[in-house]
Amino acid sequence: MPDTALRDKLQSVIYTIIDPFVKLLVKIGFTPNTVTLTGFILNIGVAVIFVVGGEEGNRGDLSYIGWAGALVLFAGLFDMLDGQVARVGKMSSSFGALFDSVLDRYSELFLFLGICYYLVAHHYLLSSLFAFIGLIGSMMVSYTRARAEGLGIQCKGGLMQRPERVVLIGVSALACGITAHYIGGDYKLYIKGIPFHVFETMSVFTIPITVLAILTNITAIRRLLDAKAALEKKDKQQKSTLVAVLLLWMLAPVGEYCHACCWY
């Protein structure tokens, strides 16, 4: 698929850039599980920033969002590093893969918990709803892949996988904080004839969240349909194999059949 090929190329470039840092982590004794755990703790820190911003900040103070966005991107770096540390340090393990997947889900849940808390605290109720829908979509993207692979089907397609979600949330949150610093957190854009504002500083963060909510669920549905097609193909192949075996058995010479019966 074109999007998968592009994603693989970008991933290869990123891995080349971070390779020296990966070798440094291996040299000082970091294990893949340590890197995974570090990323998880950082994501809890992101949630804490959002919660504190919801409690102590005001609606026009978007600095908390900016700092949370910077930490999201930093934590996301560790999401990429754990697999590379395992590869370079030759420390891959089945439990490590499971540990990484489980903590990734926990990280994402804590991240969206913080976002939803902040949005509700400052009365961005519609945006909080989209954030929650984004959480549902994010979980279903991961679950659909895991369930399909449990049935023996590869299922990695779609635009809004975890790296894309991390980058979108991190960049939009950081951009929101920077924008607020220059134009103010209370900035609103009105168009003549429309009784409400069509844009505000917070929109730099909430619009991407809305896009994420839509695309994650589209990705989950696309994966489900791809898995359906692959599973139906697999079932047909199994049925064809079974039919072929039955035909061979039925067409086998009687002597061979009787000889086979002697074993029972």
Please choose, from the candidates 116, 130, 118, the residue with its C-alpha nearest in 3D space to the C-alpha of residue 61. Answer: 118
Please choose, from the candidates 41, 45, 227, 208, the residue with its C-alpha nearest in 3D space to the C-alpha of residue 134. Answer: 208
Longest dimension (CA), the chain: 93
pLDDT of residue 253: 63
Cα(39)–Cα(42) distance, integer angstroms: 5
β-partners of residue 152 are none
Q: Which helix (H) or strand (E) holds 199?
A: strand 199-200
- Reduced to 3 states (helix: H, G, I; strand: E, B; else coil), residue 188 is strand
Q: What total number of domains does the chain contain?
A: 1
How far CA 59 is from CA of 23, 39, 63, 180, 186, in Å, comes to: 43, 29, 11, 11, 8
Please choose, from the candidates 248, 234, 60, 40, the residue with its C-alpha nearest in 3D space to the C-alpha of residue 148. Answer: 234
Domain of residue 152, CATH code:
1.20.120.1760
pLDDT of residue 21: 80
Is residue 187 situated within a structural domain? Answer: yes
Is residue 63 situated within a structural domain? Answer: yes
Is residue 200 situated within a structural domain? Answer: yes
Q: What per-residue string of b and e applies to 167-177 under the rule 16 or more CB within 10 Å gives b? A: ebbbbbbbbbb
Boundaries of domain holding 220: 2-238
Structure tokens at 252: 């086998």
| Count helices and strands in the chain by DSSP H and E runs | 8, 2
Is residue 95 situated within a structural domain? Answer: yes
Each of the 264 residues of the chain gets a pLDDT tens digit; together they read 555 666 667 777 777 777 788 888 888 888 899 999 999 999 999 999 999 999 998 888 999 999 999 999 999 988 888 888 888 888 888 898 899 999 999 999 999 999 999 999 999 999 999 999 999 999 999 999 999 988 888 888 778 888 899 999 999 999 999 999 999 988 888 888 888 888 899 999 999 999 999 999 999 999 999 999 988 888 788 777 777 777 777 776 655 545 545 544
Is residue 263 situated within a structural domain? Answer: no
Please choose, from the candidates 105, 111, 106, 38, the residue with its C-alpha nearest in 3D space to the C-alpha of residue 68. Answer: 111
Cα(158)–Cα(112) distance, integer angstroms: 21
Angle among Cα 48, 215, 108 to the nearest 5 degrees reads 25
How far CA 16 is from CA of 13, 22, 36, 159, in Å, comes to: 5, 10, 20, 22
Is residue 150 situated within a structural domain? Answer: yes
How far CA 161 is from CA of 39, 146, 199, 256, 262, in Å, comes to: 17, 13, 28, 55, 57
Is residue 244 situated within a structural domain? Answer: no
Is residue 155 situated within a structural domain? Answer: yes
